[in-house]
Amino acid sequence: MATFVLVHEAWHGGWCWQRVVPLLRAAGHNVFTPTLSGLGERADLAKPEIDLSTHVKDVVGVMEGENLNEAVLVGHGYGGMVISGVAERVPKRIDNLVFLDGVVPYGGDSVFDLMPTSIRRELQERARAEGDGWRMPWPPLERWGLNDLANAEWVGAKLAAQPLKTFEERLPTRNIAAIHLTRSYIYCTNPKTEPFGRFAERARAEAWRYCELGAGHDAMVTEPNKLADALLKVCHLPGRP
């Protein structure tokens, strides 16, 4: 039995995993889906001061509070930055870092540093124009592969603006993950979303555990069965019954 801690993408919340959780639990595993400060059901806590360190502390708090050990820590999109920070704080509680179409920092990077200039400028401008200078509205849902109307409406009704500092703060790192932890990458390829192709290439070049998933970026919404199977595969766990 494994313990999964699923860390969501920017603008999302723990709610986004609800179609995957029962599949992993049916396979015999524990699953935790923390919601990061200022997002999801915690949107009322949103404030300009929330940064990447805040979100790292959120997940560390869950792992320490629940006394989780040998956990499979999964980071979706921006969640890749969060789990990288958590690995610096509590590496002994983690067995495997899984980046699901996730951002992979080299050390000293911010999310904006790792993002195409055009997308960075778009988000910064929208924060200035629509978010009082600190709240980033979410991008078009089509970028995440949410072309089905029902899925788009379900996700769109639950998204929350992302605090700007979470993308601005740089993550200092001692490469704890590279030295001590197993790393895996799941690359969502249908359709591919920027900038995750470069991180998938890095994972292959560095011989991480790796698989590709024929789904869009929000695979937990559009292809939960495929995603559950991919998570079990990269973690070398038995398939679902």
pLDDT of residue 176: 64
Mean pLDDT value across residues 93-103: 96
Res 177 pLDDT > 70:
no
Rounded to an integer, what distance in angstroms lies between the CA atom of residue 112 and that of residue 220?
Answer: 24
pLDDT of residue 180: 77
Average pLDDT, the chain: 95
Res 179 pLDDT > 70:
no
Q: Which domains, ranges and CATH numbers included, belong to the chain?
A: 3-234 (3.40.50.1820)
pLDDT per residue over 7-34, tens digit each?
999 999 999 999 999 999 999 999 999 9
pLDDT of residue 229: 97
pLDDT of residue 197: 96
pLDDT per residue over 192-201, tens digit each?
998 999 999 9
